[in-house]
Amino acid sequence: MADFGGDAEAFRVEARDWLAQNFPPAMKGVDLALTVEEPTGDARLWKARMGAKGWGVPTWPTEYGGGGLTPAEARVLQQEMARIGARNPIGGMGVMMFGPTLLEYGSDEQKQRHIPPIVRGELRWCQGYSEPGAGSDLAALQTKAEDKGDHFLVNGQKVWTSGAQYADWCFCLVRTDPNHKHEGISFLLIDMRTPGVEVRPIKLISGVSPFCETFFTDVKVPKENLVGPLNGGWTIGKRLLQHERNSLSGGGGTAGRFASGTPLDQLAKTYVGVDGEGRIADPDLRSRLIRHQMEAKAFLLTLARAAAESKGNQSPSNATSIMKNAGSKVGQDRAELAIEIMGSQGLGWEGPGFEREELEQVRNWLGGKATTIYGGSQEIQNNIIAKRILGLLDHQ
């Protein structure tokens, strides 16, 4: 541990200097990674500088524009950015899921073509995995890609394609052999501007449309867009899901969701009132809030432990497999407690008579229902723990 600290500490000076010269102070606390509009002014400048430096994806190799930093240096960079309130302007599915997967499985030509625009935050990617008949049983997917000599002809429908209405490209699992379930799937990259691609946003119970249906009708996809071997896409697709799970259960996903907003005890004291001792007046609610806060603390301690263990070069922590279920439970519980505390005010949908936080909580509660469904549902996560970690067999 001691000697890895040395080089990383030397890097701290470099990171601090570069940030001092390149981070526009007006961008303090501003998160660009998930915004849809093209940035302007300081935001545009910050994104361009980080993109050119490759530090939005600090550990990716420099030959494709990445930062080329060691994990220890990347942590130092993160600390230095946090110190001055700088948020990483480079994000999205290209960074979190597709990029790491392509770096592992793509050809050199594919990496040269697709990685640099992700590094610079220029292109948005979406995920073409789920279909109406293939949710948790993803390998049942039917969108087919026929070999037409110099191209694949793609026909079918994807669903829950997050951000498809804004995406430039889609990484897609397609069926290239109808006779083999898992071994008949290929990993294909599709330009969303190709004729025959149609996107329809889906309105959710929370009132927003983060997901789309995406239809492919006689879409011609060049052969060079196949990643990995023909019919070898399932392995690549599963690897990508690991990256997805990690990003969903880490700082950006559910963990962030319940760390924000007014603390529940303050909320409860405001809306429910206090007893003679100054405690939340409803003792049943109080005890459930305490239980929830302790579960949240246990989850945060587990995140920290898993991080420490991976730093300490032990074998990969078993704790990571529980993160998605544990984190999504805490997030959903928090949202339900918040609206319960606020009573009718916490159900405010729109219009006058409601505080901003009240309107947010109701959307947050509804939107959060997705966290135990997407990225492998709660039940699929339990299957994974049972089979991969605990070694229990499939039912025959």
Partner 1 sequence: MAVLTEEQSMLRDSARDWVREKAPVTAFRKLRDGAAPLGYDPAAFAEMAAMGWAGVVIPEAYGGSDFGYLSLGLVLEEMGRTLAASPLIASSLAAASALVLGGTDAQKQAWLPRIAAGEAVATLAVDEGARHDPLQTGLSAAPAGGGFSLTGSKTFVLEGMAADLFIVAARTSGARGEADGITLFLVPADARGVTREKRTLADARGYAAVSFDGVDVGAKAVLGAVDQGYPLLERVLDRARAGLAAEMLGMAVQAFETTLDYLKTRVQFGQTIGSFQALQHRAAKMFTELELTRSCVEAALSAIDAESPDTPQAVALAKAAAGDTLHLVSREMVQMHGGIGMTDAHDAGLYLKRARALETTFGSTAWHRDRWGRMAGY
**Which residues lie near partner 1 (CB under 8 A)?**
265, 279-280, 286-287, 289-291, 293-295, 297-299, 301-302, 304-305, 308-309, 311-312, 314, 318-319, 322, 325-326, 379, 381-383, 385-387, 389-396
Q: Which is nearer to partner 1, 108 or 277 (CB)?
A: 277
Q: How far is the C-alpha of 264 from the C-alpha of 337, rounded, in Å?
A: 8
Residue nearer to partner 1 on the CB measure, 307 or 347: 307
**DSSP string covering 130-194, please?**
-BTTBSSSGGG---EEEE-SSEEEEEEEEE--TTGGG-SEEEEEEES-TT-SGGGEEEEEEETTS
How far is it, in rounded angstroms, from Cα 132 to Cα 120?
34
Q: Between residues 246 and 325, which has the closer beta carbon with respect to partner 1?
A: 325
* C-alpha to C-alpha distance for 167 and 50, rounded to whole angstroms: 21
Distance, CA of 244 to chain centre: 6
379 is catalytic: no
Task: Please answer whether residues 269 and 279 qualify as being in contact, where contact means their C-beta atoms are separated by less than 8 angstroms.
Answer: no
C-beta closer to partner 1: residue 49 or 329: 329
Minimum distance between the CB of residue 264 and partner 1, rounded to whole angstroms? 9
Q: Considering the complex, what minimum distance in angstroms separates the CB of residue 269 from partner 1?
A: 9
Instruction: Closer to partner 1 by CB, 319 or 366: give it.
Output: 319
Secondary structure class of 393 (helix, strand, coil): coil
Of 283 and 343, which has the nearer Cβ to partner 1?
Answer: 283
C-alpha count within 13 angstroms, C-beta hemisphere, residue 353: 8
DSSP string, 80-114: HHHHHTPPP---SHIIIIIHHHHHHHS-HHHHHHH
DSSP assigned state of 274: B
Work out how close the CB of 272 gets to partner 1 at its nearest, in angstroms, rounded to a whole number: 12
- Give yes or no for a contact between 127 and 171, defined as CB atoms under 8 angstroms apart: yes
Q: Spot the catalytic one: 73, 131, 244, 340.
A: 244
Which amino acid is residue 258, in one-letter code?
F
The count of other CB atoms within 10 Å of the CB of residue 283 is 10
Active site (catalytic) residues: 244
